[in-house]
Structure 1
Amino acid sequence: MILEKLNLSGKTAFITGSSQGIGKGIAVAFAESGATIILQYRKGKAEVESVAREIKALGAKVYIVQADFSKSRAVAGVYKKVLSVVKQVDILVINASVQVGDAWLNVSQKDFDIQVTTNFRSTFQLMQKFAPDMISNSWGRILTIGSVQQVKPHPAMIVYAATKSAVLNLVQNVAMQLADQGVTVNNLAPGVIDTPRIDEKIPETDERIHKRMETPVGRLGTPEDCAAMALLLCSDAGNFITGQNIFVDGGMSL
């Protein structure tokens, strides 16, 4: 019975930032569970096409849309693109984000704006666009991908960490409003996950900060670690879970 509730056959999932990393891991897991997948990418078309081929090999339907969520009209545009290829979206996973590493005193307005716009404003707008149809259908799942930095902010990622905390507040607010309408809204907060992002250069920190950011289990997480929790939260098995912040971080948040 539980395994049946994890089945996503007949559902359509739109996963932003799904050309690599956590987004790709979630897209593949949902395809394995029977969902139709819509992939979104900002750049790197070859990467997202490779993910689409992997999903097709699983026997799932897959579509690709392009959008740059740092642009003011991006959400409205991607909404039209998505509904041009599918009738509805049952599951919305908001994973796309921008992370700019710099000492907080050096953060420029440009770097501030691109992170706030991509990570927070577009999340709010995506919820505004896709939630109404879920409400009409009395079934929907919205999952945002946050970060352990909500509680352990890295000093060189002050804006990124702040946007992730803001998204959690948004999740809790919207979840309360949609709780009795068949739509759950949750936040999955990864720790240090083995994705291309961990290779991005950031300023070095002193030893006391470095120790605070260690992962107790002693290894990096994987996209599959996040995908397993995402599948639970976005299936019928997770129908009694809403407004929650769930860490997948190897104990880093402790």
Structure 2
Amino acid sequence: MSTETNRPLAGKVALVTGSARRIGRESALLLAREGAHVIVHAKSSRAEIEAVAAEIRAEGGTATPLLADVTKEDEVRDLVGKIVDETGRLDILVNNAAVRGERALADLDLATFRAIYAVIVEGAFLLTQAGVPHMVRNGFGRIISIGGVAAHAGVSHRVHVATAKAALVGLTKAVAVEFGEQGITANLVVPGRIGGVRSSTSGAGGAFPGGGYLPVGHEGAPRNVAEIVRVLALPTGDFITGQTIHVNGGMYLP
């Protein structure tokens, strides 16, 4: 954990959705090390988020584990309300919660498409809408959403995921413009192939053009993505907004 004289996020509160594992977990750990009080979130994995919160506390940080379904407006409002009631503020929102999976277009039913879209896009919208007023009040806010390289490079069997992740580009830019003068930045971090154990619903990762060639010669780690989240969340990230930042080892070159 950083020393008291080198904790630029001390006094700030960060909500990291989907932070039970992988990128969300690493982002929560790094933000806590910078001094933020981190809200560790999941839809239903209480044991996992309590473990992450305990890990943060063991390093000298502060964390609160909370459950909520980000697709339900009342639960999102209750989540943000509880955070503000208990901590007095919300400064950093990391929209990481997502559902993936693979399915050919011919086999993709509308219900599945909508379920993916609801978590990735509607969840980010609801959380941003609920969180921004508190950021405006404090004159400081960082909204960081986690995109997907499928939305930019193209991929088969992931039309639903690619479409939803692409929508985050527009959401990010619109929020950046609307609230930039009020001390709020909004950015999108787009991971490429990230190694480690994936959830049972993630699938193999889709078939990318060129086989998903990685010039660096290896997959990334959740920490690679979380480091960019950390940088964007810092006070010194105030001149970076409306951007789509790729972390993919050269897999996709804009």
TM-score, length basis structure 2? 0.91
Instruction: Check 1:105–1:136 CA distance in 2 against 1; reply closer, same or farther (3 A cut).
Output: same
* 2:107 equivalent in structure 1: 106
* 2:244 equivalent in structure 1: 245
Provide the rounded CA distance (Å) in 2 between the counterparts of 1:204 and 1:25: 24
CA shift at 1:163, angstroms? 0.6
TM-score, length basis structure 1? 0.91
* 2:231 equivalent in structure 1: 232
CA shift at 1:195, angstroms? 4.0
Provide the rounded CA distance (Å) in 2 between the counterparts of 1:71 and 1:152: 31
CA shift at 1:183, angstroms? 0.5
Is residue 192–residue 249 contact of structure 2 (8 Å, CA) maintained in 1? yes
CA shift at 1:203, angstroms? 8.9
Provide the rounded CA distance (Å) in 1 between the counterparts of 2:97 and 2:229: 15
Deviates more, 1:87-96 or 1:42-51: 42-51
Counterparts of 1:71-82 in structure 2, within 5 Å, are 71=72, 73-82=74-83
Instruction: Check 1:18–1:8 CA distance in 2 against 1; reply closer, same or farther (3 A cut).
Output: same
| Structure 1 gap ranges (5+) | none
Is residue 65–residue 81 contact of structure 1 (8 Å, CA) maintained in 2? no
CA shift at 1:239, angstroms? 0.8
Report the 3-state secondary structure (helix = DSSP H, G, I; strand = E; otherwise coil) of the residue aligned with 1:73: helix
| Per-residue Cα deviation, 1:89-115 (whole angstroms, up to 9, x for no partner) | 111111001112100111112211111
Provide the rounded CA distance (Å) in 1 between the counterparts of 2:212 and 2:56: 34
Provide the rounded CA distance (Å) in 2 between the counterparts of 1:134 and 1:5: 23
Provide the rounded CA distance (Å) in 2 between the counterparts of 1:78 and 1:137: 19
The residue type equivalent to 1:158 in the other structure is V
CA shift at 1:166, angstroms? 0.4
**Whose relative contact order is higher, 1 or 2, with alpha carbons under 8 Å and at least 6 apart?**
1
Counterparts of 1:1-254 in structure 2, within 5 Å, are 7-71=8-72, 73-197=74-198, 200-202=202-204, 205=207, 209=208, 211-254=210-253
Report the 3-state secondary structure (helix = DSSP H, G, I; strand = E; otherwise coil) of the residue aligned with 2:41: strand
Report the 3-state secondary structure (helix = DSSP H, G, I; strand = E; otherwise coil) of the residue aligned with 1:142: strand
Report the 3-state secondary structure (helix = DSSP H, G, I; strand = E; otherwise coil) of the residue aligned with 2:198: helix
| Per-residue Cα deviation, 1:41-70 (whole angstroms, up to 9, x for no partner) | 112222111111110011111101101224
Deviates more, 1:13-22 or 1:101-110: 101-110
Work out the number of aligned pairs and report it.
248
Instruction: Check 1:220–1:32 CA distance in 2 against 1; reply closer, same or farther (3 A cut).
Output: same
| Per-residue Cα deviation, 1:143-171 (whole angstroms, up to 9, x for no partner) | 00111112112211111111111011110
Is residue 179–residue 185 contact of structure 2 (8 Å, CA) maintained in 1? yes
Report the 3-state secondary structure (helix = DSSP H, G, I; strand = E; otherwise coil) of the residue aligned with 1:151: helix
CA shift at 1:77, angstroms? 2.9
Report the 3-state secondary structure (helix = DSSP H, G, I; strand = E; otherwise coil) of the residue aligned with 2:153: coil
Instruction: Check 1:71–1:195 CA distance in 2 against 1; reply closer, same or farther (3 A cut).
Output: farther
| Structure 2 gap ranges (5+) | none
| Per-residue Cα deviation, 1:80-135 (whole angstroms, up to 9, x for no partner) | 33233221111111100111210011111221111111110111111111011111
**Same amino acid, percent of matched pairs:** 33
